[in-house]
């Protein structure tokens, strides 16, 4: 149950052409001009490994209730860019982390709002910001990621800043990775290289390509070696998405990764509304057995 959290009303979502990421919008529906994004691989062409998460020395005993002026907090200069974090207000014990990586032409506060609702406000929902789009309408800031290496570095810095700010309230166990569109695409090499940190992933409208036999096998082994059952949930919102996700599911299953595909129907390239509801319907399965989620 969400603690001390005012209900949020998601604004209308916007359709964006080109990298194709839709996102909840704060004003009337807007259509952006066609854009393109170059996905920049790591210098050596491999996956990006994140730094090990620092150990949390706090005892699991009861803490002072977590208090902030609002549930949505700006990390400011503590991260590479002003990442947003949806915090579990009132928490008196270490809470787990969900890292939510937005799509192209998107905003971290929208992502944090949606995944905060999907997870019932229980974890810290950490939402890196990325790089600003220069072609956004005046007064309407939009963000993207230059590639998986850039996103990986920002995730690492943002997780460190989260632990530094909230200390013992942050569980030092693994995190759940949730990515939409570009965030899902970039998530494949990130979680593939960091299965002990991200043994579970929710990939919405993307993340179907890149699951080679070698990467799937490495992801499965790394998660199991760390003591966790590897799981991936593909969430679809358009015609064709299920067919696109099916080969990836087949590859992951072959290597022992528990994998499901759920669909909200042909409702548009988005992650809010009925799409978020589909993710929430399998969220308990996604976090089952992970420390800090009991």
Burial tier of 281 (Cβ tally within 10 Å: 0-12, 13-18, 19+): middle
- Asked whether the predicted pLDDT for residue 285 surpasses 70, the reply is yes
Burial tier of 78 (Cβ tally within 10 Å: 0-12, 13-18, 19+): middle
Could you read off the pLDDT of 41-57 as tens digits, one per residue? 444 444 555 655 444 44
Q: How far apart are alpha carbons 121 and 20 in whole angstroms?
A: 28
Q: What pTM was estimated for this model as a whole?
A: 0.82
The confidence score (pLDDT) of residue 81 equals 67
Q: Which residue has the higher pLDDT, 19 or 153?
A: 153
Q: How far apart are alpha carbons 156 and 15 in whole angstroms?
A: 30
E strand or H helix at 117: helix 108-118
Q: Count the helices and strands in the chain (H runs, E runs).
A: 7, 12
Report all structural domains of the chain as residue ranges with CATH numbers, in order of start. Answer: 64-287 (3.40.50.1820)
Q: Which residue has the higher pLDDT, 20 or 133?
A: 133
- Asked whether the predicted pLDDT for residue 60 surpasses 70, the reply is no
CB 129 within 8 A of CB 82: yes
- Beta 72-74 vs 23-24: how paired, if at all? unpaired
């Amino acid at each position: 149950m969400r603690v001390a959290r005012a209900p949020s009303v998601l604004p209308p979502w916007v359709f964006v052409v080109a990298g194709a990421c839709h996102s909840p919008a704060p004003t009337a529906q807007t259509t952006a001009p066609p854009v393109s994004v170059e996905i920049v691989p790591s210098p050596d062409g491999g996956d990006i490994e994140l730094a090990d998460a620092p150990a949390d020395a706090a005892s699991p005993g009861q803490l002072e209730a977590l208090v902030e002026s609002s549930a949505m907090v700006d990390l400011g200069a503590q991260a590479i860019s002003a990442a947003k974090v949806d915090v579990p207000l009132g928490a008196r014990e270490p809470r787990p982390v969900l890292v939510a990586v937005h799509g192209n032409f998107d905003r971290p506060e929208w992502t944090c709002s949606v995944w905060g609702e999907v997870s019932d406000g229980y974890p810290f929902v950490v939402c890196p910001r990325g790089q600003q789009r220069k072609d956004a309408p005046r007064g309407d800031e939009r963000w993207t990621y230059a590639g998986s290496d850039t996103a990986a570095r920002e995730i690492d810095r943002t997780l460190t800043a989260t632990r530094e700010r909230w200390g013992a309230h942050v569980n030092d166990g693994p995190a759940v990775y949730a990515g939409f569109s570009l965030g899902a695409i970039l998530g494949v090499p990130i979680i593939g290289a960091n299965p002990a940190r991200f043994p579970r992933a929710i990939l919405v409208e993307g993340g179907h390509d890149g699951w080679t036999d070698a990467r799937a096998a490495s992801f499965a082994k790394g998660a199991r070696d760390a003591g966790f059952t590897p799981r991936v949930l593909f969430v679809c919102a358009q015609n064709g998405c299920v067919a696109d996700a099916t080969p990836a599911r087949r590859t992951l299953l072959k290597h022992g990764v528990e994998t499901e595909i759920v669909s909200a129907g042909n409702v548009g390239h988005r992650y809010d509304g009925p799409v978020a509801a589909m993710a929430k319907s399998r969220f308990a399965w996604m976090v089952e057995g992970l420390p800090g989620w009991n």
